[in-house]
């Protein structure tokens, strides 16, 4: 087995190196702000622990994004956009207490994190050097007459517009954004609300089912099936309606705002991306240069 490798070392553009350090700083800031929120929180209950753990998982997301950026993957742009937006909401909902005003260190930390996320998105979508760099396809195992090799391979499907990739990545957040408040609702069972058990179990099953439904619809969406866009719109509307209802029923207004709003934002971004992709297809000119790499 042989591995395809460059014979010479290629120096990455300065914008790539700057974005790499910026992503590392954003990952570190996520950890720091989450720790500050936990330290100054007046109540450290089960719900805060679940939401804090979900916010900390964003650190892994930023590390994966660094890998995509360094390897020049086209999927880094939509992945960075969704990660930045959802990070702001995931951390922002932690700094606001149930009563009173947020602690000043938490507010300052969140402000810095929000600025870092905005800078990440700006670089990804406004830097010409990054646009030229983020065009590569994922490496795959290839078997041909030359033997077995691990090298970059263009996917067999037609080129995919950037907005479709954005819709795909945004829709993939539906499952986690549904399961997080479901896990928070387990705290209501611990507090003695045993009647909530069937509802929590149903909510958990819906969250798992949503992940598979999104996977099915986006598989055909990236392959040019027009009905897949309509299916993804239907999934978006249904998951928002169901999740908001469960948040209000089990977590009250506080849960509706903390856990429902991030899902609404993700769904709105998905629908907007589908709209832009559809308009570009009707006009025959893409709003973005087509790319063919998936963010996975």
Q: Rounded CA gap, 65 and 72, in Å? A: 10
171-203 tens-digit pLDDT: 999 999 999 999 888 877 776 677 778 888 999
CA quadruple 181, 29, 125, 151: dihedral sign: negative
95-149 tens-digit pLDDT: 877 766 778 888 898 899 999 999 999 999 888 888 888 877 666 666 666 666 6
Q: Tell me the domain boundaries of the chain.
A: 13-136, 157-296
Among 12-26, 43-57, 171-185, 231-245, which range has the highest average pLDDT? 231-245
DSSP reduced 3-state for 144: strand
pLDDT at residue 154, rounded to an integer: 59
Which of 238, 240, 257, 237 lies closest to 248 in space, CA to CA?
257
57: part of which helix (H) or strand (E)? helix 46-70
Q: Which of 185-194, 245-254, 262-271 shows the lowest per-residue confidence on average (mean pLDDT)?
A: 185-194
Contacts 24+ apart (CB under 8 A), 222-231: 222/157, 222/160, 222/164, 222/165, 222/168, 222/294, 223/157, 223/158, 224/157, 224/158, 229/274, 229/277, 229/278
Predicted TM-score (pTM) of this structure: 0.75
């Amino acid at each position: 087995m042989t591995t395809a490798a460059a014979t010479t070392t290629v120096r990455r553009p300065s914008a790539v190196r700057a974005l790499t350090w910026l992503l590392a700083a954003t990952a570190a800031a996520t950890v720091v702000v989450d720790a500050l929120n936990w330290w100054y929180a007046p109540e450290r209950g089960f719900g805060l622990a679940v939401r804090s753990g979900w916010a900390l998982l964003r650190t892994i997301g930023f590390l994966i994004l660094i890998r995509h950026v360094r390897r020049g993957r086209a999927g880094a742009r939509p992945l960075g956009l969704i990660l930045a937006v959802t990070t702001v909401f995931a951390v922002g909902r932690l700094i606001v207490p149930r009563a009173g005003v947020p602690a000043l260190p938490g507010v300052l930390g969140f402000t810095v994190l929000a600025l870092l996320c905005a800078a990440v998105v700006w670089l990804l979508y406004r830097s010409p050097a990054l646009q030229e760099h983020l065009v590569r396809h994922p490496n795959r195992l290839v078997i041909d007459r030359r033997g077995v090799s691990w090298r970059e391979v263009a996917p067999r499907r037609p080129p995919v517009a950037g907005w479709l990739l954005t819709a795909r990545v945004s829709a993939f957040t539906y499952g986690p954004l549904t399961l997080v408040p479901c896990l928070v609702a387990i705290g209501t069972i611990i507090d003695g609300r045993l009647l909530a058990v069937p509802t929590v179990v149903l909510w958990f099953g819906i969250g798992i089912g949503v992940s598979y439904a999104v996977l099915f619809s986006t598989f055909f969406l990236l392959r040019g099936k027009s009905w897949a866009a309509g299916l993804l719109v239907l999934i978006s509307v249904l998951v928002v309606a169901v999740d908001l209802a469960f948040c209000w029923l089990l977590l009250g207004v506080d849960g509706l705002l903390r856990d429902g709003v991030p899902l609404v934002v993700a769904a709105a971004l998905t629908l907007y991306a589908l709209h832009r992709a559809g308009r570009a297809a009707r006009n025959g000119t893409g709003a973005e240069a087509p790319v063919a790499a998936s963010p996975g």
